A and B are shown apart, each in its own frame.
Chain A
Amino acid sequence: MKGERSMNYLTISEEILLMAIWKLKENAYGVKIRKKVSEMTKQNITYGTLYSSLDQLVRKGLVTKFIGDPTPERGGRRKIFYQISPQGIKSMKESKKLHESLWFGVSEFAIE
């Protein structure tokens, strides 16, 4: 059981998404998340990929979603907002710890 738990870390792409949502605070919905992710990773991702990844996060309970109000610039369509759940916060913290311990004592130049 312990071994299973230890594998329960976030994947990099989950981490990137969570980070984007966290940074966007209350304004985390499709357009903004996509831009944030593209900006952070320097890669263009499509909405198809984005939404399926977000769904996965929702299913894992790391993120909750709620439906916002319609706005005119979206042709009157509603937005779906995303928010990091407490469990998500916990996972992020674990992930940060893991990264720090992983990289402890390794300088950027040493890898070469």
Chain B
Amino acid sequence: MKKMKKPPAIAQWLMSRVIKPDERFSVIGDLEEEYNEITGSQGVVKAQYWYWKHVLESLFPSLINSIYWSTDMFKNHFKIALRNMKRQKVFSFINISGLAIGMACVILIMLWVQDELSYDDFHENAENIYLVARGEGENFMAATSQMLAPALKSELPEVINAACYAQMPGNERFLIQYDDKSFEENACLVNSNFFEIFTFPFKRGNPAVSLAEPNSMVVTEATAQKYFGDEDALGKSVGMFLFGQKLSLKVTGVISNIPHNSHINTNVFISVDVLGVIGINWDHWDSQSPRTYIVVRDNCNIQELPQKIIACEKRNNRRARLSDLNYTLLPLRKIHLYGNSLEFLVTTGDIKYVIILTVIAVFILLIGIINYMNLSAALFLKRTREIGVKKVVGANRSVLALQLLGETLLLSVLALLSAVIIVRLFLPFFNQLSGKSLEIRYFETQTLLGLCLIALSTGLVSGIYPALFLSSFHPVNVIRGILNFNVKSENFRKGLVLFQFSLSIILIIGTIVVYKQLIFIRNSNVGYDKDNIVCLRMKGDANSNYNVLRNEILLNPDILSVSRSEPIEMNKMTRTTSIGWRGKRVNEEKHVWVFGTDYDFASTYNIHIIEGRYFSREFSSDKTAAYVINEKAAEMMGFKSSENAQGGLWGRRGKVTGEELNLWGNKGEIIGVVKDFHFSSFHRAIEPLIIRIPDERRQNLFFRLLSIRFKPGTLHESLMYIEKKWNELNSGIPFDYHFINEALDAQYRADRRMGTISRYFSILAVFIACLGLFGLTSFSLEQKTKEIGIRKIVGASVSNITVLLSKEFLRWVLIANVIAWPIAYFAMNSWLQSFAYKTGLSWWIFIVSGVSAFIIALLTVVFQVMKSANTNPVETLRYE
């Protein structure tokens, strides 16, 4: 017997949906029988066509039927919903505005999160690009050897391409001159194959050969425009200062501007071979400055790759210390959010803040939703008669629940529209807060889908409780007006208020803690005297006539001291393990930071010297064979400083000074110990530091900071004087200055930004919660007008009634503290853990937050209660 053909499954399923269950088998069977018959006589294609046609023809009338009737009902529901909204103007307003503000917050934050997550997405092989970071766990850094990239590319089959990318330490800028224009540029040094890896489209020039010559550079369109205007940039020569030397570079390519969501945000790309031209040699494994990016083959096993990279380095670098050698691969798309923990990589993003903001957005929306749940459950109670009548004429529970849910959806769509307007109005403000330039593109599928999803999920979540609660009433009771609200549902709604205020209190506590920490940072001692110092950046070849400048400046009696040094920022310093001291164990691997200054640094910054002395011009050996260390370094090396010399004394004669230190093979004596001062943000603990005076050449290369201490109160005059002298001596190099506080504040920009954003959002959260409380109180008071009237008649005073009625609501706000405090404690404690130096979570923060939430709630409730308590009982009771 020939095998029976199966009819199209989808059509069969469709058909079976619309037929009554007790006939389904028969109809499907009939169809299948006839289908087989047609297959036999006219072939499968015809049969399938027939089957589909038949199914659709059967479905069509019933479909039309159901649409016709449901649109009719829909019209009715819609009308009822609108009428109810109109009747309850205040409550509807509270509902919609609460939801709208919540949604607007979610939209804004989602825009921000989406932007954060979109970093580096635009590169064609973004999936396969990785950053090779040295080390693992806590201690990893982006700086690798320049030798790594070529070695990986040629030796590992998994690695298709590899290039290095170097910025000046800490994104120090380069001065570029063309004709009479000179600007400081964010420049970097890259391999010639850099543009094969990253997708930065070329407007002019040939990407393949653009960086082949050592003195060639590629610039962005905007940069080209800045220097050359409308002229063709290609082939133009510009002057650039690199490590204090002036070079002539040729523009060989113009790329389109770098998108804002790229972690590589330099405007000028110079061939790394230029280092050879100025005589700097990075071509060995021990010198670790540039980052290494690799492109791996599709489906390559990333887990095993670090081991292979280690093996590759071992083959090439005989001096590699095996214990120390470790690599981690960071996917390109994660660099922006996870790269912050990498030393020598500065990103503006942080996954922590993405999470915090998302949580805040959800909180606010949740508060809005709870408002809605509470208020609409209360409002629907006024419509019990409608529900009862509908039930009596045959509406079952699911129909009613759907109707009520539909009303919620309608409201949430209205809220969404308002939210979109709010977003439109506040986007510029939010951009200013968040430091981004976000925009919302309404007509993209993604945006539309996202918006619909927000409206739908909000509508469903907030509508489900009122819908189920109300549709459950028994029709007879409802019509007779007997509503036995059980205590459970009452408590549920009060529980919602509790939850709302808990969230608000958590947000308030969070905001206070963030501010307290920021104030703590600002007021705490960085370890040096940061007031009355103005800093200049030694750009271009300014270092070459430093001595003249210094003498000229010091002629002014208002100026107390001038010092030149490397920038006092950890990410602009050098870190090394190549250091020896007496008593160092053989395999001990310890990191120290190396900082170069001149003789006047300690006196300019008023750095406290605990033991010994600072560098002095009187000792000729200070220039070459002397080191000053900080307390942490003394501790690390096992030397105790003289102040706390009891026990574990290592230093000769109980002192640290006089000990010998071997840094990069240069032996020298420790001549002093300085009190620890901060050279990184408070996120990090102070680490061991060695201060030295570098040789003349390094001074010219790395002394980028000129610090001038002036007499208090002479800022204006001193600045004028310094500027005059600067312009006399360094013509063509822009004069720009900053104060230490500004530089310090910049380290906490992200934290401050979060502080501001969370402050605004907390205010919103509290506001929405209060809206809800307001609505609930006024509703409840409306129900109780008679009770109030009777109480007054039998002798209750206004204050009695006020206390009685307020108590009910305010009790829950107080209880909210009990829930909020532990959660806020743990959350803020973990945030503070990211700071090495932190303020405590004092008890008063919790009290203040609790009390302020209480007071706000009190103000919301009490005025309304007093108003009702003051009404003349005659008004409320005369209809009885």
* Secondary structure class of chain B's binding surface, majority of residues: helix
Across the interface, which residues of B come within 8 angstroms of A34, CB to CB? Answer: 30, 34
> Which of the four size classes fits the interface of chain A?
20 to 34
CB-based nearest A residue for B22: A80
CA distance A104 to B238 in the complex (A): 113
Across the interface, which residues of B come within 8 angstroms of A31, CB to CB? Answer: 30, 33-34, 37
CA distance A48 to B54 in the complex (A): 9
0 or 1 for each of B35-60: is its CB under 8 Å from A? (1 = yes):
01100000000000000001001110
0 or 1 for each of A59-88: is its CB under 8 Å from B? (1 = yes):
000000001000111110111100000000
Q: Does A9 contact B (CB under 8 A)?
A: no
Assess A75 versus B54: contact at CB under 8 Å? Given A31-B34, A48-B59, A48-B61: no
Contact A80 B23 (CB under 8 A): yes
Contact B30 A48 (CB under 8 A): no
Contact A75 B32 (CB under 8 A): yes
Q: Does B818 contact A (CB under 8 A)?
A: no
Across the interface, which residues of B come within 8 angstroms of A29, CB to CB? Answer: 26, 30
Q: Does B19 contact A (CB under 8 A)?
A: yes
Q: Does A46 contact B (CB under 8 A)?
A: yes
Query: B170: shortest Cβ distance to chain A, in Å?
Result: 75
> Which residue of the partner chain, among B27, B29, B62, contacts A75 with CB atoms under 8 Å?
B29
Contact B62 A48 (CB under 8 A): yes
> Which residue of the partner chain, among B19, B29, B58, contacts A77 with CB atoms under 8 Å?
B29
Contact A46 B57 (CB under 8 A): yes
Q: Does A49 contact B (CB under 8 A)?
A: yes
Across the interface, which residues of A come within 8 angstroms of B6, CB to CB? Answer: 75
CA distance A73 to B23 in the complex (A): 18
Across the interface, which residues of B come within 8 angstroms of A79, CB to CB? Answer: 26, 29-30
Q: Does B18 contact A (CB under 8 A)?
A: yes
Contact A74 B27 (CB under 8 A): no
CA distance A53 to B460 in the complex (A): 40
CA distance A63 to B18 in the complex (A): 23
CA distance A72 to B1 in the complex (A): 10
Q: Does B819 contact A (CB under 8 A)?
A: no
CA distance A84 to B347 in the complex (A): 85
Contact A77 B26 (CB under 8 A): yes
> Which residue of the partner chain, among B32, B54, B62, contacts A74 with CB atoms under 8 Å?
B32
Across the interface, which residues of A come within 8 angstroms of B23, CB to CB? Answer: 51, 55, 80
Query: A34: shortest Cβ distance to chain B, in Å?
Result: 7
CB-based nearest A residue for B61: A48
CB-based nearest B residue for A35: B34
Query: B65: shortest Cβ distance to chain A, in Å?
Result: 11
Contact B58 A47 (CB under 8 A): yes
Q: Does B4 contact A (CB under 8 A)?
A: yes
Q: For A46, A47, A77, which residue has the most chain B Cβ atoms within 10 angstroms?
A: A47
CA distance A49 to B59 in the complex (A): 10
Contact B29 A46 (CB under 8 A): no
Across the interface, which residues of B come within 8 angstroms of A71, CB to CB? Answer: 33
Contact A47 B33 (CB under 8 A): no
Across the interface, which residues of A come within 8 angstroms of B54, CB to CB? Answer: 46-47
Contact A30 B29 (CB under 8 A): yes
Tell me which residues from 11 to 32 in chain B have a Cβ below 8 Å from any Cβ of chain A: 18-19, 23, 25-32
Across the interface, which residues of B come within 8 angstroms of A55, CB to CB? Answer: 23
Across the interface, which residues of A come within 8 angstroms of B58, CB to CB? Answer: 46-49
Across the interface, which residues of A come within 8 angstroms of B37, CB to CB? Answer: 31, 73
Across the interface, which residues of B come within 8 angstroms of A73, CB to CB? Answer: 4, 32-33, 36-37
Across the interface, which residues of A come within 8 angstroms of B28, CB to CB? Answer: 75, 77
CB-based nearest B residue for A81: B26
Assess A47 versus B62: contact at CB under 8 Å? Given A72-B4, A73-B4, A80-B23: no
Query: A81: shortest Cβ distance to chain B, in Å?
Result: 9
CA distance A18 to B25 in the complex (A): 23
CB-based nearest A residue for B7: A75
Contact A75 B4 (CB under 8 A): yes
CA distance A30 to B35 in the complex (A): 13
Across the interface, which residues of B come within 8 angstroms of A75, CB to CB? Answer: 4, 6, 28-29, 32
Assess A74 versus B29: contact at CB under 8 Å? Given A51-B19, A80-B23: yes
Contact A77 B62 (CB under 8 A): no
0 or 1 for each of A19-53: is its CB under 8 Å from B? (1 = yes):
00000000001110010000000000011110100
CA distance A51 to B28 in the complex (A): 12
CA distance A55 to B19 in the complex (A): 12
Query: A3: shortest Cβ distance to chain B, in Å?
Result: 31
Contact B59 A30 (CB under 8 A): no
CA distance A30 to B28 in the complex (A): 10
Across the interface, which residues of B come within 8 angstroms of A78, CB to CB? Answer: 25-26, 29
Contact B27 A47 (CB under 8 A): yes
Tell me which residues from 74 to 110 in chain A have a Cβ below 8 Å from any Cβ of chain B: 74-75, 77-80
Contact B30 A30 (CB under 8 A): yes
Across the interface, which residues of B come within 8 angstroms of A77, CB to CB? Answer: 25-26, 28-29, 32
Query: B56: shortest Cβ distance to chain A, in Å?
Result: 9
Across the interface, which residues of B come within 8 angstroms of A72, CB to CB? Answer: 1, 4
CA distance A41 to B469 in the complex (A): 54
Contact B26 A80 (CB under 8 A): yes
Assess A51 versus B27: contact at CB under 8 Å? Given A75-B32, A77-B32: yes
CA distance A29 to B31 in the complex (A): 12
Query: A49: shortest Cβ distance to chain B, in Å?
Result: 7
Across the interface, which residues of A come within 8 angstroms of B32, CB to CB? Answer: 73-75, 77
CA distance A77 to B467 in the complex (A): 42
CA distance A31 to B54 in the complex (A): 13
Across the interface, which residues of A come within 8 angstroms of B33, CB to CB? Answer: 31, 71, 73-74
Contact B18 A74 (CB under 8 A): no
Contact A47 B4 (CB under 8 A): no
Query: A17: shortest Cβ distance to chain B, in Å?
Result: 15
Across the interface, which residues of A come within 8 angstroms of B30, CB to CB? Answer: 29-31, 34, 47, 74, 79
CB-based nearest A residue for B6: A75
> Which residue of the partner chain, among A47, A49, A80, contacts B31 with CB atoms under 8 Å?
A47
CB-based nearest A residue for B62: A48
CA distance A108 to B26 in the complex (A): 41
CA distance A30 to B25 in the complex (A): 11
CB-based nearest B residue for A33: B30
Across the interface, which residues of A come within 8 angstroms of B59, CB to CB? Answer: 48
Q: For A29, A51, A77, which residue has the most chain B Cβ atoms within 10 angstroms?
A: A77
CA distance A74 to B29 in the complex (A): 5
CA distance A72 to B29 in the complex (A): 10
CA distance A37 to B725 in the complex (A): 109
CB-based nearest B residue for A78: B25
CA distance A49 to B62 in the complex (A): 10
CA distance A71 to B37 in the complex (A): 14
CA distance A34 to B28 in the complex (A): 14
CA distance A66 to B62 in the complex (A): 26
CA distance A77 to B7 in the complex (A): 14
CA distance A31 to B19 in the complex (A): 16
CA distance A48 to B64 in the complex (A): 14
CA distance A49 to B34 in the complex (A): 16
CB-based nearest B residue for A46: B58
CA distance A74 to B18 in the complex (A): 19
Across the interface, which residues of B come within 8 angstroms of A47, CB to CB? Answer: 27, 30-31, 54, 58
CA distance A79 to B59 in the complex (A): 22
Across the interface, which residues of B come within 8 angstroms of A49, CB to CB? Answer: 58, 61
CA distance A58 to B790 in the complex (A): 66
18 contacts between A and B (CB under 8 A): A30-B29, A30-B30, A31-B37, A47-B31, A48-B19, A48-B57, A48-B59, A48-B62, A51-B19, A51-B27, A72-B4, A73-B33, A73-B37, A77-B25, A77-B26, A77-B28, A78-B25, A79-B26
A-B contact sample (10 more), CB < 8 A, given A48-B62, A79-B29:
A29-B26, A31-B33, A46-B57, A47-B58, A51-B23, A73-B36, A74-B30, A77-B26, A77-B28, A78-B29
Residues on A close to B: CB < 8 A? 29-31, 34, 46-49, 51, 55, 67, 71-75, 77-80
Residues on B close to A: CB < 8 A? 1, 4, 6, 18-19, 23, 25-34, 36-37, 54, 57-59, 61-62
Q: A-B pairs with the 10 shortest C-beta distances?
A: A77-B29, A48-B58, A30-B30, A74-B29, A46-B58, A80-B26, A74-B33, A77-B25, A75-B32, A46-B57
